[in-house]
Every structure is written in C-alpha cells, then in structure tokens.
C-alpha cells in the first residue's frame, strides 16, 4: 500500500482513537440519528467559549464601524423570528433553550447568516434585502443555521482537524514523507476525513432547520424558495453561505421528501 494511503489511514485511526461517538441531538420527526465522532479532549464548553470570544470581536468591529443594527425593521424581524425558533430547539436538545443565546444583525451587503456554537446568531442585512426574504424564508435560513449549532458541527469539524494535524505531525515522522508526498497526503486526508461530511452536515441542518421552522409556525415550503433564491444569487459567484455547499437537486429533493413529515407540525402551530 502506498505510504500516502497509509498516512490517511493513520489519521483516520487517530481520529477514532482520540474521539468518542455521540449523538448530539434527538432525531425529531425528520429522523437525524447519525452518531458523531468528537475529540474527547475538546468539550462543548471549550468550543462555546472559543466561539463566544470570536463572536464578541465580530460585534465589536461592527459596532465600531457603525454597522451593528439593533433597531431597523430587519433587526426587529430577525429577533422576532429567533424568539419563535429558539424555544423549539428543546425538541432536539433539552438544554438548548437555556443556552446563552445572542441574536444580532450586521449591516452588510454580504449574503450570509450563521449561528455559532452555543447559540450565537448573526444575520447580515444583504441576505434579507437583496433576496427579498419573506419571514418564512428567513425562518428557514435561521433554522438551518441554528441546526448547525444544535448538532455541534463546528466541534465535529474541529475534531476532524485535530485528527488531520495529529496525522501530519506523527505520520510525516513515522513514514519519512517528503514535501510533495506530504502535500498529497494532505489532500487525501482532506477528502477522506473532512469533505465527505460537509454535505452530510448540510443535509442534517436542512432537515432539522425545516422542523424547527415548522414547529415555530413558519411554512416549511419556504425552504424550497429560499434555496432557489440562494442558488440564483450572484450568477457564477454564489453567496458565501453557499461557497462550499451549493444548493443542488439533491438538496431540493431531500427537502421535498421531508416537508410532508413536518407539515402537520406547521398546521398545529398555526392553529394555536
């Protein structure tokens, strides 16, 4: 077996040896049940703390530049939708509604939104205004981002990165790989450990986000029009939110298949 492939196998073995298998969320009606490999020395609290520091830095920079938006109609809409979505997170994680949630809007043409570890949400006005999002569509994208936090996809990615780094440090020493081989090994490890999970994580966020929005009383069909708008925006330069996970026929098919599962939740929420 070529040494480069032994190196990829070594990194994978290190990932498994240093990780524990967990399922961060309940499955919900959409049935997200995959167990995740988390680096045992990297706790949720540590990741939350690291991200909270970065989040505050981002807010500080936006505030200094006069771009932190606390009172516009966009900001009011985002905060109102978050107030309906956050209580629904308990369906997937009983601890989540009591997280130290923060919801902020930044004035920017950027077509982006995110929810980092521990419930730190940022929505950029460009996403709302340029795509002319309805409340249902805005709930779909916010639910999607919240789902990433619930599933701790950030911690999962960091766990994979630890394995890659460990594999590089140890594998290079053990196998005596030259510079070119190490670069090739990097690519193999990235493809074998990191990239295959990206679309899987996106699919999980799509499904959980769909259910969160439905439970909060937002029409789940809006997820389809949201991602259609996303995929059409920017022509050959897709929005940053789609830079590594473009909307495609598979995403739309998965959403369409899941909508009948969550539609009764939406109807129940609307009836309350």
pLDDT, residue 177, reads 42
The continuous run of DSSP H or E covering 133 comes out as none
- Residue 59 pLDDT exceeds 80: yes
Angle between helices 249-271 and 195-215 (to 10 degrees): 20
Tell me if the pTM is above 0.75: yes
Residue 120: per-residue pLDDT: 97
Query: Average pLDDT for residues 231-243, to the nearest whole number?
Result: 63
- CB atoms < 10 A from the CB of 51, how many? 18
Point out the catalytic residue in the list 137, 145, 156, 211: 145
**How far apart (Å, rounded) are the C-alpha atoms in residues 235 and 237?**
5
Three-state secondary structure call for residue 220: coil
pLDDT of 178 over the 60 cut: no
pLDDT category of residue 164 using cuts at 50, 70 and 90: low
Q: How far is C-alpha 135 from the chain's CA centre?
A: 20
pLDDT surpassing 50 at residue 105: yes
H helix or E strand, kind and range, residue 217: none
Q: Tell me what pLDDT residue 154 has.
A: 87
Which range of 39-48, 54-63, 157-166 scores highest in mean pLDDT? It is 54-63
Respond yes or no: is residue 168 known to be catalytic: no
Is a pLDDT exceeding 60 seen at residue 155? Answer: yes
């Amino acid at each position: 077996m070529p040494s480069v492939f032994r190196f990829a196998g070594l990194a994978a073995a290190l990932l498994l040896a240093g990780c524990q298998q967990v399922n961060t969320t309940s499955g919900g009606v959409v049935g997200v049940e995959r167990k995740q490999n988390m680096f045992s020395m990297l706790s949720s609290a540590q990741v939350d703390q690291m991200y909270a520091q970065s989040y505050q830095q981002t807010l500080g920079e936006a505030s200094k530049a006069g771009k932190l938006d606390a009172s516009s109609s966009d900001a009011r809409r985002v905060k109102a939708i978050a107030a309906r979505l956050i209580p629904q997170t308990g369906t997937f994680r009983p601890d989540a509604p009591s997280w130290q949630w923060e919801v902020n809007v930044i004035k920017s043409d950027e077509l982006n939104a995110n929810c980092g570890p521990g419930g730190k949400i940022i929505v950029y006005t460009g996403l709302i205004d340029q795509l002319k999002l309805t409340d249902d569509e805005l709930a779909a994208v916010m639910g999607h981002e919240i789902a990433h936090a619930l599933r701790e996809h950030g911690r999962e990615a960091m766990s994979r990165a630890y394995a890659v780094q460990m594999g590089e440090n140890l594998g290079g020493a053990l196998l005596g790989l030259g510079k070119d081989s190490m670069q090739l090994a990097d690519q193999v490890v990235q493809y074998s450990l990191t990239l295959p999970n990206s679309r899987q994580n996106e699919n999980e966020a799509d499904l959980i986000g769909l259910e969160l929005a439905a439970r909060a009383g937002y029409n789940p069909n809006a997820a389809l029009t949201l991602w259609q708008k996303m995929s059409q925006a920017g022509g050959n330069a897709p929005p940053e939110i789609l830079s590594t996970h473009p909307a495609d026929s598979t995403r739309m098919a998965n959403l369409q298949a899941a909508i009948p599962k969550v539609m009764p939740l939406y109807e129940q929420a609307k009836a309350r």
